[in-house]
Amino acid sequence: MKLLDWYILKRFLQTYIFVVLVIVLVVVMIDYTEKVDNFHKTNAPAAAILGDYYLNFIPYWANYISPLMVFIATVFLTSRLAARTEIIAILSSGVSFIRLLFPYVLGASVLAVLTYFMVNYLIPKANKTRINFEIKYINDAFTYSKRNQHIKIAPNTYAYLESYNNQSNTGYKFTLEEIEGNQLKQKLTADHIEWDKKKKKWGVYDYKIRTINGQRETLTPGARLDTTLNLKPDDFSSDFNLYETLTRPELNRQIDLLVSRGSDGVETYLLEKYSRDTRPFAIIILTVIGVIMSARKSRRGVGWQVALGFFLAFTYLLFFMLAKGIAESGNLNPIVAVWLPNAIFTAIGVFLYNTIPR
């Protein structure tokens, strides 16, 4: 690397850190203003607010807005270099525009790798503490309200619950069916089931087991039966932003579990998984676009270029949120939804590179 590369790389990373700190500070102030009443209402300890919530809130938001802030930092730095005619001097010395991009892409690649590692392993662990704080001190008390739940708990086994009380860990009007092919082999019906914390098993109460063997059927009633099911009280607890608390391996296991059960909401977890893959690429794509659109000295000044950078950055965010919303409704494949903004902005980058004079 040449001295010029180190110069641009250093300025690029410094500008990025500065922009992120400023924006995150603004976000924290807005968030505190919105939630201060909840903190007082629930008597949240100051140590928990700072240590459990904001200490984990800051890295979450810093990572979340990272692609946009890289773009803003790129526009801000490059437009300042262009305003001081440094870009012109560099290109006039025989350095190609592609070569000029090298330190930017290098810096963006470093941030992309760091972002991938953080979003898949570090941020989810921090989110667990933050979201637990939100559930305890900010959100209303959770009550499981879904009714008539059908859950596939094994390849040939299906469970049904009319309702579930997550306060007492009790499910009502429980049914367990074992089906082979199209034939019902065994069916258990019970008035209710209750989780036994000591035994780590379900207690099945006032049950009847109907066993079918060809043309022969037997009925076995009972008062209580302890059993182990591929079902836990956690499956009925609050899933508020659960996808944000899962590391990459945990996210894959959760997706496999939901798919095996035929559960609703798997799109949300697929979107989270794929969006974690696209974010590092977004950093590089937006960095290149930022250099292309701001390398030319503007008569309107740096402020105009930075404002245009903000506009394009939030246009990208709008594209992403729109595509994500459509995917969550089931009208668009999740992997297409999260990659679509990157594809569109890659095309924009190619167009700008071929049309903007430098």
User: Which pTM was predicted?
Assistant: 0.85
Question: Tokens at residue 200, please?
Answer: 């780590």
Q: How confident is the model over 183-211, as pLDDT tens digits? A: 899 999 999 999 999 999 999 999 999 99
pLDDT score recorded for residue 296: 78
pLDDT score recorded for residue 58: 96
Q: 120 with 279: CB under 8 angstroms?
A: no
DSSP letter for 265, please.
T
Give residue limits of the domains in the chain.
3-139+265-355, 149-236
Res. 226: pLDDT tops 80: yes
More confident residue, 228 or 293: 228
Task: Label residue 85 by pLDDT band (50, 70, 90).
Answer: confident
Q: 149 with 161: CB under 8 angstroms?
A: yes
pLDDT score recorded for residue 1: 62
Res. 264: pLDDT tops 90: no
Q: 87 with 295: CB under 8 angstroms?
A: yes
pLDDT score recorded for residue 305: 67
Q: What angle do CA 120, 121, 123 make, to 5 degrees?
A: 85
pLDDT score recorded for residue 358: 61
Task: Label residue 141 by pLDDT band (50, 70, 90).
Answer: confident
pLDDT score recorded for residue 39: 94
Would you tell me how many other CB atoms lie within 10 Å of the CB of residue 60? 20
Task: Label residue 93 by pLDDT band (50, 70, 90).
Answer: confident
Task: Label residue 73 by pLDDT band (50, 70, 90).
Answer: very high
The b-or-e profile of 102-132 (16+ CB within 10 A means b, else e) is bbbebbbeebbeebbebbbeebbebbebbbb
| Mean pLDDT of all residues in 133-160 | 91
